[in-house]
Chains A and B, each alone.
Chain A
Amino acid sequence: MSGEHGNWCLIESDPGVFTELIHNMGARNVQVEELYDLDPSTLREIEPVYGLIFLFKWQSGSGGSSGEPGPRAAEPSGASDHVYFAQQIIQNACATQAILAVLLNRSGEIELGEMLENFRSFSADLPPDMRGLAMTNSDCIRDVHNSFVRPESFISDERRPATENDDVFHFISYVPVGGRLYELDGLKPGPIDHGATDDWLETVGGVIQKRMSEYSQSEIRFNLMAVIGDRRKILGERISVVDADISRLTVRLEALRLDGGEASQAEATRVESQIGKLSSERTGLECMVERENGKFARYRFDNALRKHNFIPLVYQLVRGLVEKNTLRPAMERAADAAKTRPRRAPPSW
């Protein structure tokens, strides 16, 4: 349906999916976190934050809005030349496009990897529309993107061109570049400059709030994700620092105890309590690492299912029901259930 650009599957706006996409594109020490509020303190906890990806999902037609908030025109200006901006060419590539909008603007801090470095240097001199086209036509980027095609979704993709009733996604990335906060909206002609900021984590919340309010009331779902540094690596580094402090204090403590003097004993008590504090901090950090491990295990599980072809499982499950002589009763109950609810619209994704 996307003709010469090849097919791009729809991607769930899910942190596990985005994290794996980034990893598979070759960038390292980056992960994606879902945010549930715009509070700066939330962002502080997960620093470094490289950029935010804001995904809207709205029913076109329900609000009479094309999704274009309208009032603010983009301001393509010479001042934004250092911003990597690509226009959105096709709908389904949006997840990848949003990711690249952040990654390619933070290439100084992020290890992009060969694929993305090559793409960046190749497309750097192109105008925004050609960058979008280059992205859309990049086989390797598309392959990574399409690794998330659902085995059944190819049926629906081909079968059913997007209609007015389909959910439509739109994404906007927010990235600080050169001390200014930019809004990168692939439907606009250029980056939108939100001005100079010392601390973009403080200001971005308000900008997003304002942007949200520009959408019609019918906008019901949105999704905010942060592209951040590898949490486990950062936590690991903090644990190392704490460990170094603890061992230094332990040496000191032993020395003080050997000394035996009264002043030394008082000092030893203080050092001991300090070690205790550091130990509990360490435990806290380890808990966070464990949480991250659990999260990544979850990602692996979910992503495996996202890509899985369930037809063989369905087939074996039905055979199991037959073995147990429960298929027919189950079908009868299903028929009853079908009667009591309106005919379902085909699944859309």
Chain B
Amino acid sequence: MADKVLMKGNEAIAEAAIRAGCRHYFGYPITPQTEIAAYMAKRMPKIGGTFLQAESEIAAINMVYGAASAGKRAMTSSSSPGISLKGEGISYMAGSDLPGLIVNVQRGGPGLGGIQPSQSDYFQSTRGGGHGDYHLIVLAPASVQEMADMTVKAFDLADKYRMPVMLLADGTMGQMMEPVSLDLSIAEAPEKPWATTGTKLARPHNIVNSLSLVPEELEKLNNARYEKYEIVKQNEVMYEEYMMDDAEICVVAFGIAARVSKNAVVAARKNGVKVGLIRPITLWPFPADVIAKAADKAKRFISVELSMGQMIEDVRLAVNGKAPVELCYRVGGMIPTPEQVLEAIENGGAKS
């Protein structure tokens, strides 16, 4: 415990990114993630890094594109409306096979919405978010410690698969303070022979580009990218199972909703209800196999979300009709209480 510090989730992301070797942060302020930028503004100049407040979110994501092209670990962060603005740049990064970290500390929407927590960017994150056929790896931390751990993991995965990774948090996760160990396991960033670092007249030009005007070529690129996605699906699924061994009711929830749900599961167990929790840590790739396996035993599923019901579609696909899947939710910046989730577990059908 001696090595722990007390951090906000947003700060934990920033510090972990620095420790993971990120020296290039580009952003534009928006509540509830501004502490990431504030922390970077303070720290980056002291360690020879770059903090740049761009003129817009669109500029910031394109700066990430540039730094990533040069082989550097780079990141940006924003909250829901700002992520929509970054959509084009994210798609370009995916189309150019560039690694990079995009943090979304979600707030209630749509539109400008509010500043309180939300999980309603699930579709946007897990389906790509911008135009074209692509995926992001989407990580969903559920504690301040995981905010730090998943940030390091995000950079590793981005470099390993040459694709953008999104850390999908929410206003609560960003603002809450918890003790954190910064004793993170940091792997060396791999060599990037594809990066545009200057040929020194010793090799052919490296080209980083998403433009491909010959349809046969573009089709090949898309197919190759989806072969890579299959490998990601095979190797990188992460989830937590809690009290699932004998569970007849299975709650599925991620992030802050999973913390609330865990309390409800504990309370229901005290009442003798056989209920467990599956917490997806990667939202893409989604832990469909473990949910499908749970559906062999569980009689009922409940998706707990801070949205009108988005992840529930992936849960239903995984359950594949073997059991009913219900929704328990709050939106607009509201958070379900453990009592609300308990009610859904014990009596079913409880919604907002």
* A and B interact physically: no
- B residues whose Cβ falls under 8 Å from a Cβ of A: none
